[in-house]
Structure formats: structure tokens, C-alpha cells
Amino acid sequence: MVTYVATLGVPRHVVEFLARLLAAHRWRIGTPKGSRALGPFRQAVLVLCWFREPGCVHCLARDAGVSQATGYRYLHEGIDVLAEKAPELHEVLSRCQREGMTHVILDGTLIESDRLAGMRDNGNDWWFSQKHKVFGGNIQFLSAPDGTPLWVSDVEPGSTSDSTAARIHALPALSALYKAAADGLTTLADKGYIGAGIGILIAVRRPKGKSEHALHVDTRMFNTLLRHVRALGERSAAELKQRWRALQHVALSPSRIGDIARAVLVLNGIWK
């Protein structure tokens, strides 16, 4: 076996932030001092290694000098303490209004994962996306006008469409998004959210079988401007997935995707 020196590509203040959360969590649950194989800082390093370069948890545990079971327990503990710090939708929209934002951008993305058995009545797997032809979970997110990620939802199975997932987590009756729209904070979305309701601006779909020129010139200009403004927000998912590669493919249970995404949102917010 060969040992080598490696560098974790994460600012030190991010590691220290997570270490403080883990230390506070140990204090809350009454963990005796010195009873853990790893201290909060080394546990934070293990967790962040997985977020940055997701790989074999057994390998991360081996490098840290703990068992595979302990490695998984430390990883899930780190995900949980981070996810608890993620803001709620109402809190995010209130902050956007205080800061004078003109709009937010709603979009969805599929987080690929290993298969989890869960069959629907028609024989299809809940976690299989027919659109993307992969197993995974649907995550909804909001971003600021400049593309900064603001909020992520819990996970829905990959077979769930964006509009259905949004109605579950972001657009229920009397939801925060509708109230924010009434107060002047508009939500921009793509055509996958047609029928979402008043205050959710969506590009106008051209008539079936017709070209884009079948639409009025003013409508075409509206669609162009909307796509241009939304483009900044659509990069949010790409930013999160590229910086925190755990979101590119989740090897844990797909039901954990929502917590992982919220943990990534918190880490991304303190990175800068």
C-alpha cells in the first residue's frame, strides 16, 4: 500500500464552518468527549471530500482510518447538519423582496442516482426518467436574477415532471410564489411549467404544427427576452453540479437527494 499527500480543493473557512456544525451537533446529542474516532474537523474533511469528488465511501473511510460503517455514518451526519441550515421558501422570497429583486427563476433538474426498486402501477420504476432515460430524482430550485442559487426543494422520483414537482413543493394553493407575485416579485419559468398559474411568466408556445413565425412579432420578442433573462438562472444547477460533483451522480439512496442538494446549497452559499 502506498501513501501520498493530497489537497482538498475547498477554502478552509468552509471546512471550519462544517466542523463547527458537527461539534454543535455532537454537543446536542451528548457525545462524550474523545469517544469518536475522528474529531469534527477531520470528519468535515471526509464529508467535503465526498461532496467534491464523490467516490468510494470505503476508500474515504480507509484513508481516514475508520471502518466503512463509521464512514457512512459520518457522511450522513454531515449531510443532515448541513441540510438543516438550508433556508425555507418563504424565508428566501422575503429576503428577495427586502433586497429589491425584480424576479426569481424557477427551474428543475434531474440528479442521476443508482437504481432503487419502487414500481408504479403500470410497471414502470418511480425513479426512472423517461425523458432522460436514466434513474434519478427531480429537484426544483429558485435562483436570483444573476443566477445565484437561492432555494432547492425536496426530491421527487425521476418519473415526476417539473410541473408536478413544482406543484408539490413550490406551487401549492396560496403558495409563497403566488403571494410574492402579487407583491411584485415575478417568477420566470420555462414551458415545462405551463399552467402553473398567475404570476409565473412562461414563454408562449407556438401552435401545434406551426413554425415560430406563426406567433405575433410581439409574442416572439417576449419569448426571446424571457429566454435571455432566464439563461442566467438556468446556470444555477450547472454551477452546483460542477462545484459539488456529488450532485452529478448520487450513489446513496435516491431519497437522500433532496438533503444532499440542500446541503450543497448551504456550502455553495458560504464558499464566496
Span 181-218, pLDDT tens digits: 778 888 888 887 877 777 788 888 777 767 777 788 88
Find out whether 163 and 128 touch, Cβ atoms under 8 Å.
no
Span 130-150, pLDDT tens digits: 787 888 888 888 999 988 999
Is the pLDDT at 116 greater than 70, yes or no?
no
Q: Which residue has the cell 450532485?
A: 247
Highest mean pLDDT among 106-115, 148-157, 174-183, 215-224: 148-157
Q: Which residue has the cell 432547492?
A: 152
Percent of the chain with pLDDT over 90: 33
pLDDT of residue 117: 56
CB atoms within 10 A of CB 14: 18
Q: What is the mean pLDDT of the chain?
A: 85
Highest mean pLDDT among 75-79, 177-181, 204-208: 75-79
Choice between 204 and 174, residue whose per-residue pLDDT is larger: 204
CB atoms within 10 A of CB 251: 13
pLDDT of residue 174: 41
pTM over 0.75: yes
